[in-house]
């Protein structure tokens, strides 16, 4: 939780630095976010390849439980579509873009800001990317702080779905600790996160 609060603090500090007009010029470079993001994705791949036996995870999965990522995607996009009624001036594709991050605020925000700049302009794309960033940060915070209540009221699979891609890393300890026979959920939580992580760029490109 401390790490996520630190991320939230950095986000707020970045807004303050930008408003102060004191940020170095090189931080405004168009290519810098993609470079940092590429290094982050590389690090995630290295961690998965070095620390996780993916074949063992696949063998231990219940075939029916492996459908959970698909239900998470469908449910998230369904409720994101309802955002058309709440976000005035935003069409259906914009709302679906916001929901397509599944908690991956860094990747989704950068992609939205880059891909939508041609149709919405830089300011419009930045606004939409900021909405996506806040939505995904809030989703992660709900999963982190609400896992005990979610598991108790909705069942042990609910926290995995709410966590989105964070079910395989940040939220995994909370999911295991607050669910009955939590160790059994580790394979599905990791698979859930991997499937959603792969789907983020695919869906965002599709809705753009």
pLDDT in tens, the chain (208 residues): 566 577 668 778 877 887 787 778 777 666 776 677 667 667 656 765 665 555 666 566 667 777 899 999 999 999 999 888 887 777 899 899 999 999 888 788 888 888 888 888 888 888 888 889 889 989 988 888 888 888 888 888 899 999 999 888 778 888 888 877 667 777 888 889 889 988 998 899 888 8
Separation between Cα atoms, residue 100 and residue 199, nearest integer Å: 8
The span from the CA of 52 to the CA of 46, in Å, is: 10
Q: From CA 172, how far away is CA 176, in angstroms rounded?
A: 6
Comparing CA positions, the residue from 127, 131, 204, 136 lying closest to residue 170 is 136
Tokens (6 digits) for 26 = 């090189």
Q: Is 67 helix (H, G, I), strand (E, B) or coil?
A: helix
């Amino acid at each position: 939780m401390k790490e996520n609060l630190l991320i939230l603090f950095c986000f707020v500090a970045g807004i303050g630095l930008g408003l102060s007009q004191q940020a170095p010029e090189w931080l405004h470079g168009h290519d810098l976010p993609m470079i940092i993001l590429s290094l982050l994705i590389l690090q995630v791949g290295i961690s998965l390849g070095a620390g996780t036996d993916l074949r063992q995870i696949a063998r231990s999965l219940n075939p029916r439980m492996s459908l959970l990522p698909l239900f998470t995607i469908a449910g998230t996009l369904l409720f994101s579509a309802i955002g058309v009624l709440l976000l005035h001036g935003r069409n259906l594709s914009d709302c679906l873009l916001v929901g397509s991050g599944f908690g991956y605020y860094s990747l989704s925000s950068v992609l939205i800001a880059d891909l939508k700049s041609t149709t919405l302009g830089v300011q419009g794309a930045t606004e939409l990317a900021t909405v996506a960033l806040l939505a995904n940060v809030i989703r992660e915070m709900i999963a982190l702080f609400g896992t005990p209540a979610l598991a108790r009221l909705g069942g042990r699979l609910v926290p995995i779905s709410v966590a989105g891609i964070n079910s395989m890393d940040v939220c995994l300890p909370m999911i295991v600790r607050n669910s009955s026979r939590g160790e059994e959920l580790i394979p599905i939580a990791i698979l859930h996160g991997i499937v959603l992580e792969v789907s983020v760029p695919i869906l965002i490109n599709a809705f753009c």
